Structure 1
Amino acid sequence: MKILGIFVALTIFTPFISAQTLHNGITLPQQWPPHYEESTVRHEMPLPYLKNKPLVIPINTGRQLFVDDFLISETNLSPVYHTPKYYEGNPVLEPDKDWEKTVEGALYAAPFSDGIWYDEKYGKYRMWYLAGAGTIHKDERQTFYTCYAESNDGKIWEKVNQDIVPGTNIVDTCNRDAAVIWLDREATDPAKRWKFFNVERRKEDRRWQYVLKYSADGIHWSKGVAQSGDIGDRSTAFYNPFTKKWVLSLRASALASSRSRTYAEHADPEVLVSVAHRTRKDADDKFVKFWFSPDDKELRHEKYPEVEPGIYNFDAIAYESVMLGFYSAWAGPENRVCEKDGIQKRNVISLGYSRDGFHFSRPTHQPFMNVNETEGAWNWGNMQSVAGVPLIVGDSLYFYSSGRRLSKIMWDSHTSTGLATLRRDGFVSMHADKEEGYVLSEKLSFDGKYLFVNADVRKGKLLVEVLDEQGLPIEGFTKKDCIVMKKANSTKELIVWKNRKDLSTLFGKNIRLKFYLSDGDLYSFWISPWLSGASRGYTAGGGPGLDPKGIDIE
C-alpha cells in the first residue's frame, strides 16, 4: 500500500508529458514550444522536420503542397514560386466616411490584421477594419477604432450601419492599434464563435495590452474577458488547428533586431492573453518565448541601403495540410525620415510555410504581395497582412491587404484595402519543360481511396506510378497503366489506371508516388475518401459552398 501511495503521489505532482504527434507524422519534442537562444547574427529559422523527416508521412489531412522538400525524396523538376494577381478594381475598400478620419484628418479604412472571412452560416464575405477615430477620441492624437463591412462577392463591399454608434458601421470604440477578429469554427459555445484579440491603449498609462472579447455575431462584443500585461503595439493572434492551440505573435526587440517576434501558445485563449507580456530580449520566460528575428536574406531598400530590415508583423493560418505565414517585411526608412521625405515606409508581404506551426520555411524572400511605387497607387507603401485570408472562391484564392497612398495631408495616411487572386494551391509548382521529368515522394501512408492532382499540363502529359516501400512499381499501378492527363488545366483532376480506378486494393500499405511530367506544372496531390475529391484539409478563411466547420469534407 505504501508503494502504491508513493506512485500515486508521483503521478499527481510529476505527470508524464507525452510528445504530440501531428497529422503529418511529425512528433513534437517534449519541450514545446522550443526555446532558442537569441543571436546577434541574423540567420534563417531552423527546420528540424526537414532534417529529420518521419520515416512514413501520413497524407490523410488536406492537399499536399510542394512548398518545401518535406514530401519529396527525389526530383529533377524545378520549383516555381508564384504570386497573386492584383484585382483591376482595387482598392475594394476606401476611407470615404467622416468617422474614418483621425483628429488630424488622416484617412484609414483597412484591416491592420483584423479579419476578412467568408461566413458560411451567414452567406457573406465579412470584413473588420481599422478606421480613424477622430469623431469619438477627439482629444487624442492618431486614435483608431474598429469598423465593419460585408460583401456578396468579395469585391464590392458595403459599410453596413450598426447600432453600436447609430448611423455608422463602427462595432467597437476602444482606442486600438492592431487587432485580430477570428472565426472560431470549433467553438462549442455560440456566444464565443467570434474572438476579438484587440491591442488597446490603457487610459491610465497609455501602454498597449491585449483585451480579449467574444461575440456570437461579430458585431456585438462582450466586455473584456481577459487582459494582458504590457505588449508591443503590432501584436496579433491566430489559431493552429493541428495542435489545437491559440498563438500570440508578439512584437519584440531582440538582439538581432528591434523588429522581431516572440511566441506564446495555450489551448485556452483567456489563459493565453492573461499571461502575455513584453519580455526582456534576453529573458528565458515561462510563457513567452523568443521566436525569430529578421534573417540575413531580408530585402533592403535600394534608396535607403543603410537601413537594417525588420519584421513589422507576422500572421498565420491553416490552409489544407500546412500553416501559411504572412510576413510584413519592413525595409524602412524610419518614420521621421518618411515624414521628412514625404513618403511611406516600405512594407511588403512575403510568405512562409510551416509543418509544425512554429518553424516556418521561407523558400523565397521575394514579395508575395508587393508595393507599387507609382503616383496614385493605393499600395504605394506600408502594406500589411490580413487575418483570415486566403478565402477559397472556386478555383481561386482571395488575398487581401492594406496599403497606403502618398498623401499631401500627412505622410502616414490614406490607408485602403486591396484584393489579389491566386490559383487554388498556387503557391509553388514543380515545373517541367518539354522534356519529361519526375518527382518521387517519400514513403506515404493513407486511408483514402481516390488520387487527385492539381496540375496545369499544356502540350505535355502527366502520369503517376505507385511504388511499394522498396521503390518497385506495383502491378496495375505502373506508369504504362496510368491514364494520361494531357492538355488539361485542373485544380482537381482524378488519376486512374487502366484496370484500377482507385487505391482501395492498397489499403494498409505504405507507398511512394512517382509523378512523370512534361511541359507543365504540378501544384499538389491528395488521396480522398470520396469521388468528389474533398481533401479533409483546412479551408483557411472559408468560401462559398464550403463546410462551416472549416474543413474540406463532402
Structure 2
Amino acid sequence: MGPDVVASHVDLSGLPKFDARAANRYVVRWVTQAANDYRFELSINGKTIAKLAGENRVDGKDVSIGFEFRRGTHRVSQVAWRLNQGGKVVVSPESREAVDRIGMGFRELFLDDVMVARTAAVQRVLHQPTKYPRNPVIRHHQRPWQKFRAQLYGTVLYIPDEKLFKMWYLAGPRFPDEAAISLDGKPRIPNFQLLAYAESRDGLNWTLPDLGLVSFNGSRHNNLCRFSRENAEGVAVIYDRHDPDPKRRYKAIYWEHSVRSPDKIPVAVDINAMSVSFSADGKDWTNHPGNPVIPQPSDTGHQAVWDPFRKVYVAYGRFGAGGRRIARSESPDFINWSPSQMVFAADGIDKKSRGGHPQFYGMGTTIYEGTYIGLPWMFWENSSNRLDVQLASSRDGIHWRRAGGRKTLIPNGKKGTWDGGCIFTAAQPLQVKGDTIYIYYSGLSLDHEEDRPSRRERPEYGESSIGVATLRRDGFVSMRAGKTPGHVLTRVLKWPAGRRLHVNVDASKGQLRVAVLDGDGQPLAGFKHSRVVSGDHTDVAIRWPRSDGKGPSTRLVQLRFELTDADLYSYWLK
C-alpha cells in the first residue's frame, strides 16, 4: 500500500507508554490467506498495533512491503527479513562496527550478544568490583570549603603521560542555613558549589594541592579551581591531548545555575543551562564567552567523551530528557551542540523487580575498548529510596542495553555507613592503569528521601564523600562454564594478517581451548584445537600445535571457545 493512501497510515501519538525517542522494535508482517489478499500487520515492541488491507501493486512476479516514518527524525539500527519462517538476518550496523573494531585490535567483551552466535553450557556472570577498604578516599570534612559536601559530580582521569590520576569534584562549604561565604572578596551563598582539584599516583591515596587561584574567606591556600561564574554541577572533564590549541587541552561541560538567596546575596549572572569552559592545565579555566551552549538545565552528574569513530564530542545528562532519564547531545567542536535526544530510561522490568517508581538518576559513561559502557544510577523511588549502580552498554552511544542481567554492579554499604544510602559515579568513571580498572563514585549515608540531620546535632555529618572500587581488566561480565564443558561460538569476524589471538581468562581451576572455523562453521586445518590454557591470565596468547600462534590464512573466521571450570572475559587480535 503506497504512502499516499491514507488507509496505510498509523497514528502512534495516542499509543499508551509509547516513546518515539526510545529504541523501539517495529515488525511489518504479511497476514495474507488467499490469492489477491495483500493484508499485512504492524506490531511495535511485540504488540500488534494494526492490520491493514494492502493493495495490488504487483509488477510481474515481484511483491513488496514497505515501511516509513512520516514525521520526525528516526534512526534504523537493524533490519531483518524472513521468508516462510526461514530466511536470514541482515548484518546489523552494530555487528559490522564490532567486526571492524576487533580487526583494529580492540578487545571484545561479553556485555551483549552482538558477536555471540551460539553458546552451550555456559552462563553470563556479573562481577562486582571490590570497594577499597579505606574508603572514602576524600572526605567531606577534610577542608573548610567542603564541610557540607565533597561530591563526585565531577570527573577522574588517569593521564598515562604523567602517570597521574586527576580528580575534579564539587566542594560545598556550608549548609544552606549557615552564614554566607566570601569568594575573591565577594559574598556568596553558603552552599555555593565550588570546583576542587585532587591528584594521586596510585589512585588510592590523594593529595589536595594548594593551587592559590581562588580566595576563600580571605585565603588562597586551597585546592579550588578558578572556574565558572555561578554554581557549577556535574562537571564533566575531557583531556584532549590532540587539540592544536594548548589552551583547550582540558574541556569541561556542566550545569551552571544561579541561586537566589533569601539574604539577597547578588548573583554574577542569571543562568540555568549548560555551559563549557577550557583550560591548559585543568586548574585555571576560561569560560566560553557564548555560554550557555545547551539551553536546558540538567540537575545530575554529566558525562562527556570524545568518540574517535564518529569524530564528535558526546555529552549525556538530563537536558531535554523530560525527567530522570538519559539525554544525549553531540558536538564537532565542544561549543556547537546538537538538539538533545532521550536515549535511555528505566522501564517496566525495573518496576517489576523492586516496585515503586524506578528512575535513572544519572549514568557514568566511558568508551572502553571501542564500546560505550554505562553505569546507570538506579534510583528506587518509593521503594528503598536508595541509589545503587547497574551496568549497561552501547555500540554507538545511542542505543543502550542492560548488561549483567540487571544485577547490581556497585551495591550500597550497610545502613548508616558512608555509602549506605546513595551512590553516584564520576564522569568517565572507568579508569584503567595496568590490569586494573578504577571506578570512582560518591556515597551518601542517608537515602534520597531521609530527613537530613541538623549539623549542630551531628557535626560529623556531610552530604557526601568520595570512594573507589577496583575490578580486573575487562572484568565486568564473564562467560562461565562449570564442570560440564561448555562453549561460546562467535559470529564471523575478520582476522587481519600478522595478528595473534589473545584472551583474558580465569582458568585457575579448569582450562580453555580455542578452535578456528571458517565462515561456514567448519574447522580449519591445523586450528581445530589450540593448546590448553590454564591459570588466571588477563592477557595470554592462544597457540596451536603447528602454527606458533600465527593466525590462519583464511581471513573470515569464527572462534569457538571451549571452557571447563573457567571464566572467559574477553578476546582480541593483537
TM-score normalised per structure 1: 0.76
From 451, 474, 477, give the equivalent of 2:501: 451
Deviation, structure 1 residue 40: 5.2
1:284-307 deviation line (CA, Å, top 9, x unaligned): xxx2223233211226896xx5x4
Deviation, structure 1 residue 396: 1.6
Deviation, structure 1 residue 37: 8.1
- 1:83 pairs with 2:128: yes
Deviating more after overlay: 234-243 vs 164-173: 234-243
2:261 corresponding residue in structure 1: none
Counting only pairs closer than 5 Å after superposition, residues 158-173 of structure 1 correspond to structure 2 as 158-165=207-214, 166-172=220-226
The 2-side partners of 1:37 and 1:169 are apart by: 52
Cα separation, partners in 2 of 1:408 and 1:189, compared to 1, 3 Å: same
1:231 corresponding residue in structure 2: 297
1:308 corresponding residue in structure 2: 357
1:243 corresponding residue in structure 2: 310
1:493 corresponding residue in structure 2: 540
DSSP-derived class of the 1:191 partner: helix
1:552 corresponding residue in structure 2: none
Deviation, structure 1 residue 116: 0.5
- 1:484 pairs with 2:527: no
1:5-51 deviation line (CA, Å, top 9, x unaligned): xxxxxxxxxxxxxxxxxxxxxxxxxxxxxxx9897538985584597
2:182 corresponding residue in structure 1: 136
- 1:296 pairs with 2:348: yes
1:468-512 deviation line (CA, Å, top 9, x unaligned): 111111111112xx21112x10010110011102334426x2011
Counting only pairs closer than 5 Å after superposition, residues 116-515 of structure 1 correspond to structure 2 as 116-134=156-174, 135-136=181-182, 138-140=187-189, 142-165=191-214, 166-172=220-226, 174=228, 175-202=231-258, 203=267, 207-227=271-291, 228=293, 229-234=295-300, 236-239=302-305, 240-251=307-318, 258-272=323-337, 287-298=339-350, 305=355, 307-332=356-381, 345-363=385-403, 364-375=405-416, 377-406=417-446, 408-409=453-454, 413-447=462-496, 448-479=498-529, 482-486=530-534, 488-506=535-553, 509-515=555-561
Cα separation, partners in 2 of 1:118 and 1:37, compared to 1, 3 Å: farther
> Aligned AA for 1:41?
K
Deviating more after overlay: 308-317 vs 36-45: 36-45
From 117, 133, 144, give the equivalent of 1:73: 117
Cα separation, partners in 2 of 1:210 and 1:253, compared to 1, 3 Å: closer
Cα separation, partners in 2 of 1:298 and 1:444, compared to 1, 3 Å: same
Deviating more after overlay: 432-441 vs 355-364: 355-364
> Aligned AA for 2:282?
G
- Greater relative contact order (Cα < 8 A, sep 6+): 1
The 1-side partners of 2:136 and 2:352 are apart by: 27
Quick check: 1:84–1:369 contact (8 Å CA) kept in 2?
Answer: yes
The 1-side partners of 2:24 and 2:473 are apart by: 28
Deviating more after overlay: 83-92 vs 138-147: 138-147
The 2-side partners of 1:37 and 1:131 are apart by: 45
> Aligned AA for 2:347?
D
> Aligned AA for 1:237?
Q
- How many residue pairs end up in the alignment? 456
Quick check: 2:301–2:427 contact (8 Å CA) kept in 1?
Answer: no
Deviation, structure 1 residue 360: 1.1
> Aligned AA for 2:526?
G
Deviation, structure 1 residue 171: 0.3
The 2-side partners of 1:367 and 1:172 are apart by: 37
> Aligned AA for 2:369?
E
The 2-side partners of 1:220 and 1:205 are apart by: 20
Deviation, structure 1 residue 440: 0.8
Quick check: 1:42–1:294 contact (8 Å CA) kept in 2?
Answer: no
Deviating more after overlay: 132-141 vs 85-94: 132-141
Quick check: 1:109–1:129 contact (8 Å CA) kept in 2?
Answer: yes
The 1-side partners of 2:443 and 2:540 are apart by: 37
Deviation, structure 1 residue 526: 0.5
Quick check: 2:372–2:393 contact (8 Å CA) kept in 1?
Answer: yes
The 1-side partners of 2:277 and 2:365 are apart by: 20
> Aligned AA for 1:426?
G
Runs of 5+ unmatched residues, structure 2? 1-11, 26-76, 81-89, 175-180, 215-219, 259-266, 447-451
Deviation, structure 1 residue 252: 5.1
The 2-side partners of 1:386 and 1:50 are apart by: 36
Cα separation, partners in 2 of 1:296 and 1:521, compared to 1, 3 Å: same
> Aligned AA for 1:456?
D
Quick check: 1:45–1:361 contact (8 Å CA) kept in 2?
Answer: no
The 2-side partners of 1:393 and 1:83 are apart by: 18
1:33 corresponding residue in structure 2: none
TM-score normalised per structure 2: 0.74
The 2-side partners of 1:50 and 1:97 are apart by: 55
The 2-side partners of 1:90 and 1:450 are apart by: 40
The 2-side partners of 1:264 and 1:37 are apart by: 24
> Aligned AA for 1:506?
S
Deviation, structure 1 residue 262: 2.5
The two structures, once aligned, show a CA RMSD in angstroms of 2.8
From 94, 108, 112, give the equivalent of 2:149: 108
The 2-side partners of 1:327 and 1:177 are apart by: 18
The structure number with the bigger radius of gyration is 2
The 2-side partners of 1:136 and 1:50 are apart by: 59
